[in-house]
Amino acid sequence: MKKENTTVVLILVLLSMVSVQAQNSDRRILASTAFSADRTNEDTVVLAVLDQETSEIGKSIFSIYGGLAFPMGDFADKNNGGAKRGLTAGLQYVTRGKIGGILNLSYTANPCDPSESLSLFGGQGTYGYWHSLGAFLGLKIGIVNSTSVDFYAAPLLGMNISSTPQIKYVVEHPGDEPTTVKMHTTQNSVLTYGLMSEIYYGHIILGIRYIAYKPKFIVETEIETGSGPNPPFYSFMTNIEQSTSVLLLYAGLGF
């Protein structure tokens, strides 16, 4: 009897140990499952954040744009540059990321209206355009946000090839032979700096840009007096330096 009781007690102890071991194993399985679930959720959250950040930062964009060019300072002064509101157009490539690079090629044309200075001669004529073709590199600094609108600003540095207006006017006074004056120049390249800011919404781009440079020109002036087959003619050269600053407002499409 005692032997049987001892056997029963041993069996109960073994069963208890197996039960405890099974419970501990179940706890470890549950803990492992919970840890795996938490880790999976963390990974999912991290991936979601990365995906969100990537979508907010955007991708590399090639764009075309066009807009208005507003002369500023001496460039707009009628007794200096005489430039009026003009047009601008360009191509641009922007790399992805909050910090990246910009490659820009732009053209600007501003009509010239030096009416106050030329009116002293009593002449009438055509005054042409200030032309500018620029190539720029920029450092893009973007702002990440939780919307579908991307924004960035950038300092710019580049070279500008520009030319003065091709001016032609005729001075006529009663009793005198008409005098024809032509002014033209060769192109000149000069270091140019600027600042820009753009907003992207889908494929729509809105931008503002300021550029400034100070080219030097050699202007040739040709003067003819009279209207015969061989009128008196002479010419002279003039060195000028034109302080130029332009504010560009534009819109475009990005791809």
pLDDT digits (tens, 9 = 90+) for 114-150: 655 555 455 567 778 999 999 999 999 987 655 678 8
Q: What is the pLDDT of residue 176?
A: 66
With 0-12 / 13-18 / 19 or more C-beta atoms within 10 angstroms meaning exposed / middle / buried, residue 132 is: buried
Cα 59 to Cα 151: distance, rounded to the nearest angstrom: 13
Q: Is the pLDDT of residue 196 over 60?
A: yes
What CATH number should be reported for the domain holding residue 201?
2.40.160.20
Number of domains within the chain:
2
Structure tokens at 70: 């507003």
Same domain for 146 and 69: yes
Phi, psi torsion values for 173, nearest 5 degrees: -125, 145
Among the candidates 36, 57, 78, a domain finishes at: 57
pLDDT category at 82 given cuts 50, 70, 90 is: confident
| Unique residue bearing structure tokens 């009026």 | 84
Q: Given this model, what pLDDT does residue 115 score?
A: 59
Q: Does the structure show a pLDDT above 50 at 31?
A: no
Higher-confidence residue of 88 and 167: namely 88
Predicted local distance difference test score (pLDDT) of residue 223? 81
At 239 the pLDDT is 84
On whether both 67 and 177 belong to a single domain, the answer is: yes
What 3-state DSSP class applies to 117?
Answer: helix
Q: What mean pLDDT do residues 18-30 have?
A: 48
Say if residue 165 is exposed, middle or buried (CB neighbours under 10 Å; 0-12, 13-18, 19+).
Answer: buried
On whether both 65 and 161 belong to a single domain, the answer is: yes
Structural domain boundaries, residue 30: 1-57
Q: Are residues 21 and 86 in the same domain?
A: no
Q: Do 96 and 158 sit in the same domain of this protein?
A: yes
Can you tell me the mean pLDDT for 155-181?
80
Q: What does each C-alpha distance from 208 to 30, 44, 88, 151, 152 come to in angstroms? A: 59, 39, 12, 12, 11
Confidence of residue 107 (pLDDT cuts 50, 70, 90): very high
User: Which of 9, 34, 57 finishes a domain?
Assistant: 57
Give phi and psi for 24, each to the nearest 5.
-65, -40
Neighbours of 230 (CB within 10 A): 7
Beta-bridge mates of residue 253: 64, 204
211 alpha carbon, distance to own chain's centre = 11
Contact status, residue 181 vs residue 166, Cβ threshold 8 Å:
no
Alpha helices in 58-189 (DSSP H): 115-118
Give the domain-ending residue among 42, 57, 72. Answer: 57
Tens-place pLDDT, residues 130-139: 999 999 999 9
Judge whether residue 212 has pLDDT over 70: yes
Residues 31 and 79 in one domain: no
pLDDT, position 14: 45
Q: Where does the chain show beta strands of DSSP type E?
A: 61-72, 86-94, 99-111, 123-126, 129-143, 149-163, 167-171, 179-185, 188-201, 204-213, 216-225, 233-241, 244-254
The Cα–Cα gap between 89 and 203 comes to: 17
Residues 150 and 244 in one domain: yes
For residue 1, the 8-state DSSP code is -
Residue 33 — very low, low, confident or very high, per pLDDT cuts 50/70/90? very low
43 with 85, same domain: the answer is no
Query: What is the percent of the chain where pLDDT is above 90?
Result: 36
More confident of the two residues 57 and 83:
83
**Measured distance CA(199)–CA(8) in Å, rounded:** 83
Q: Do both 42 and 63 map to the same domain?
A: no
**Same structural domain for residues 52 and 134?**
no
Name which of 145, 249, 146, 143 is nearest 206 in CA terms: 249
pLDDT in tens, 1-14: 444 445 444 444 44
Same domain, 121 and 135: yes
Could you tell me the pLDDT band of residue 45, with boundaries at 50, 70 and 90? very low
Q: Tokens 């002369």 belong to which residue?
A: 71
My answer on whether 138 and 98 are in the same domain is: yes
Give the pLDDT mean for 62-70.
Answer: 97
